[in-house]
């Protein structure tokens, strides 16, 4: 018999106010990063220095919540010591786990800090139980965050064949690329998301009002143009509108949000260890609202999965803060498969 699934709620913390909002509104844990390229949300104004990290850890752990530090980019030889120092600092300050993608960094963490709990990042792109088990057996990985490319039956196959805990994304922005292996924005910016830590880094982003509308550019490349009544989104190549054979449309991916509330009973049945909310780049108000909704939903499914129903008020609250105008179940639901 499988143990009772945890179904923890893991929420984003791009700042100390966001961390406190997540904790105060019911997150079981938060994930965060440092103010450098050791994490995959390396944007100006986001993330934690040592002082704010220490305060955030104290705040969360005093209320019985977990702090997970993302060190999920890939070190380069000339700066490897920065990633090693980050692992050391995470251990010194007492984080509950570090989230890693690079096998070399996992080896360092496992060898140097054998009691430190290690999680496999979505950036590690482990999509099979064989991959998850490799990281578990070789580096002691305790939990794996699966990429958002698997159907629920494929997720079930992973869970049934590994002793590692499995964490799934439940809500937030989607990535059309293979996570951990995307180089698309580096063609425009010269900075790989996997090493620089940011897709469409801020230094390359420009908004410009023109007589044709608000234009967003990435290193000079026109990504989108918005009419006066449209909201101008953050420019990323995969979510831009481009002219293809005379038609202008979202050629790669439409802006939309993953929302798997209706799948919670099935995720609970499968033994999913945690639901992850995307959005470290979003505001504390976003974090508070999403956390509150998902706390209520997870509590409801744990109380009675058989009678669980998505409340209209939950969708109404999430619609206000979702990317684009649509929700999707993403790859989790494939009726044609």
The answer, yes or no, to whether residue 3 has pLDDT greater than 60, is no
The answer, yes or no, to whether residue 14 has pLDDT greater than 90, is yes
Label residues 264-297 b or e (16+ Cβ within 10 Å = b): bbbbbebbbbbbbbbbbbbebebbbbbbbbbbbb
Contact call for residues 242 and 134 (beta carbons, < 8 A):
no
Contact call for residues 272 and 264 (beta carbons, < 8 A):
no
Label residues 118-139 b or e (16+ Cβ within 10 Å = b): bbbbbbbbbbebebbbebbeeb
Structure tokens, 36: 């450098």
pLDDT tens digits for 233-254?
Answer: 788 888 889 889 999 988 887 7
pLDDT of residue 68: 98
pLDDT of residue 326: 65
pLDDT tens digits for 96-148?
Answer: 999 999 999 999 999 999 999 999 999 999 999 999 999 999 999 999 999 98
pLDDT tens digits for 198-210?
Answer: 788 888 889 999 9
Domains of the chain (ranges; CATH) run 8-174+256-332 (3.20.20.70), 184-250 (no CATH)
Angle at 256 between CA 315 and CA 172, to 5 degrees: 65
pLDDT of residue 200: 82
The answer, yes or no, to whether residue 336 has pLDDT greater than 70, is no
Handedness of CA 21, 12, 257, 291 (dihedral sign): negative
Average pLDDT, the chain: 90
Structure tokens, 47: 């993330």
Q: What CA–CA distance (Å, rounded) separates 303 from 313?
A: 19
Report, as an integer, the average pLDDT of 162-182.
83
- Torsions phi, psi for 75 (to 5 deg): -60, 150
Contact call for residues 237 and 184 (beta carbons, < 8 A):
yes
Contact call for residues 127 and 121 (beta carbons, < 8 A):
no
pLDDT range class, residue 1, cuts 50, 70, 90: very low
Q: What CA–CA distance (Å, rounded) separates 309 from 322?
A: 20
Structure tokens, 258: 């993953």
Q: How many CB atoms lie within 10 A of CB 108?
A: 19
Q: Are strands 165-173 and 141-145 parallel, antiparallel or unpaired?
A: parallel
pLDDT greater at residue 90 or residue 44: 90
Report, as an integer, the average pLDDT of 16-44.
95
The answer, yes or no, to whether residue 18 has pLDDT greater than 90, is yes
């Amino acid at each position: 018999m499988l143990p009772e699934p945890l179904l923890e709620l893991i929420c984003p913390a791009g700042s100390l106010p966001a961390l406190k909002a997540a904790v105060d509104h019911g997150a079981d844990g938060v994930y965060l990063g440092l103010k450098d390229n050791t994490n995959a949300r390396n944007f100006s104004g986001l993330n934690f220095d040592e002082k704010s990290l220490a305060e955030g850890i104290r705040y969360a752990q005093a209320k019985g919540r977990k702090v997970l530090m993302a060190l999920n980019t890939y070190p380069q030889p000339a700066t490897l010591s920065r990633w090693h120092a980050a692992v050391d600092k995470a251990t010194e300050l007492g984080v509950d786990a570090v989230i890693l993608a690079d096998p070399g960094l996992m080896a360092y963490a496992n060898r140097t800090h054998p009691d430190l709990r290690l999680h496999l990042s979505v950036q590690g792109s482990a999509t099979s139980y064989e991959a998850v088990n490799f990281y578990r057996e070789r580096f002691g990985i305790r939990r794996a965050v699966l990429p958002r490319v698997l159907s629920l039956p494929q997720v079930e196959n992973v869970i049934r064949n590994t002793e590692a805990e499995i964490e799934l994304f439940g809500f937030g922005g989607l990535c059309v690329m293979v996570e951990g292996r995307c180089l698309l924005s580096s063609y425009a910016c010269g900075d790989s998301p996997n090493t620089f830590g940011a897709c469409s880094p801020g230094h390359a982003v420009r908004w410009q009002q023109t007589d044709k509308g608000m234009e967003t550019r990435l290193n000079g490349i026109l990504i989108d143009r918005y009419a006066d009544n449209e909201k101008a989104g953050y420019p990323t190549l995969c979510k831009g509108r481009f002219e293809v054979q005379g038609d202008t449309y979202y050629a790669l991916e439409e802006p939309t949000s993953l929302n798997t509330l209706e799948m919670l009973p099935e995720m609970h049945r499968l033994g999913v260890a945690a639901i992850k909310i995307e959005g470290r780049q979003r505001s504390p108000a976003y974090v508070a609202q999403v956390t509150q909704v998902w706390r209520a939903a997870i509590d409801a499914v744990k109380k009675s999965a058989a009678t669980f129903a998505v409340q209209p008020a939950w969708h109404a609250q999430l619609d206000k803060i979702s990317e684009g105008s649509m929700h999707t179940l993403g790859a989790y639901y494939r009726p044609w498969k």
